[in-house]
Amino acid sequence: MRLNAIETGTGDRVVVLLHGMMGSAESWWRVAPLLVANGFRVIALDLPGHGCSPRDERCTVASAADAVVATLAACAPDAAVHGIGHSYGGTVLAAVTERMPMGQVVYVDSACAFEGGAEQRALAEQYEHDRRNRRDPAWLLSSRPFYSATDAEVEARAAERFDPMTMASISVGDDVAHEPGSGSILVRAEPSAFVSDSTAARLRAAGVDVRDIPGAAHTIWYSHFEQFRAALPEFFGST
């Protein structure tokens, strides 16, 4: 599968951006220009069933990772690729690191794991209910007061394009877990509903650089943009 990509910038220093569930490549609209300004070529991808990428009712984390690798091979052959993945996109990114050499890898509030055993259609109905709400920018602004008007428009458009059956397929099989590697970075909302304190402590002990942002929402760069930027000088420079 070849994924839809939004590409900005030039050069051989590539950052691939992988959004979370019900997001899209556009979710990085404020992050990507800052990366380009710091000398990176940015490839923001729509994961399967999101944005303008193909749907796949048999999608798995493994097949999504394969699609990312195939797309990068076509878009950026022989480039040094770094990665930033949010939530579900972090899980996919962790699987990508097992398939191709990567530079610096950042997981944004992601435990890099998915619980299996779901019934696909029932879970898809839950996602559809959430999607209907999120298609309305006004609802997003009322439920997420830290959103800007552009944030709400981008995420409402992502919800409009989201395919619940593709995403529900991820949770149908066995549990999925990909351990972040030593030297990777985890930028974590604190407190986090997705990465517990005990998980963060375990990852620190395993060599993962865990950087907490107190009070941040799950989509950290929407609620705490400047803190997110300051947490990653490797990508955004010093502030």
Residue 142 lies in a domain: no
- Structurally, how many domains does the chain consist of? 1
Residue 65 lies in a domain: yes
pLDDT at 115: 94
Own/partner long-range contacts of 160-164 (Cβ < 8 Å, ≥24 apart): 160/135, 161/24, 161/50, 161/51, 161/52, 162/22, 162/49, 162/50, 162/127, 162/131, 163/49, 163/50, 163/55, 164/49, 164/123, 164/124, 164/125, 164/127, 164/128, 164/131
pLDDT at 78: 87
Q: Over the stretch 70-93, which tens digit does the pLDDT of each residue have?
A: 999 999 998 889 999 999 999 999
Residue 183 lies in a domain: yes
Residue 163 lies in a domain: no
Beta 5-8 vs 41-45: how paired, if at all?
A: antiparallel
Average pLDDT value over all residues in the chain: 97
Going by pLDDT thresholds of 50, 70 and 90, the confidence category of residue 226 is: very high
For residue 215, give both structure tokens: 């009070």
Q: Can you tell me the distance from the alpha carbon of 75 to that of 44, in angstroms, rounded to the nearest whole number?
A: 11
Nearest to 89 by CA among 75, 110, 72: 110
Mean pLDDT of 97-114: 96
Residue 122 lies in a domain: no
pLDDT at 89: 98
Name the residue range of residue 63's domain.
5-115+174-236
Residue 129 lies in a domain: no
pLDDT at 239: 59
Residue 217 lies in a domain: yes
| Percent of the chain predicted with pLDDT > 70 | 100
Q: What is the pTM of this model?
A: 0.98
Residue 110 lies in a domain: yes
**Res. 94: pLDDT tops 80:** yes
**Res. 109: pLDDT tops 70:** yes
Return the CATH number at 205: 3.40.50.1820
